A = this chain, B = another copy of it.
């Protein structure tokens, strides 16, 4: 067991943030796996509901980018990404990693 830190970043799929963020994360060679999840519905500061339907190909859906690494590494990465991330959309917390 070792200590790690998990990060979740909440974005909209349609924005420029997602692509730029993934490229930056991919360039972090030592970073552990990154996973992107798409929500089926969500609403943000506007209160407007965004929902997927079977025929909905819109990109107005929420996505979450998740990754974990050592706490020190996560701190560095978040500092490196600070300019690319919308304020109030990034959370992190300590976890235990089975290694």
Contacts and interface: CB of A to CB of B under 8 A. Distances in A.
Interface of A: 4, 6, 8, 10, 22, 26, 29, 32-45, 47, 49, 54, 57, 62-64, 68, 78, 82, 85, 87-99
Given A4-B91, A6-B91, A99-B87, A43 B33 contact: yes
**Copies of this subunit:** 3
Nearest to A93: B95
Q: Which of A4, A42, A62 has the most CB of B within 10 A?
A: A42
Contacts of A37: 37-40, 64
A33 B49 contact: no
A22 B96 CA distance: 22
Contacts of A35: 10, 39, 41-42, 62, 64
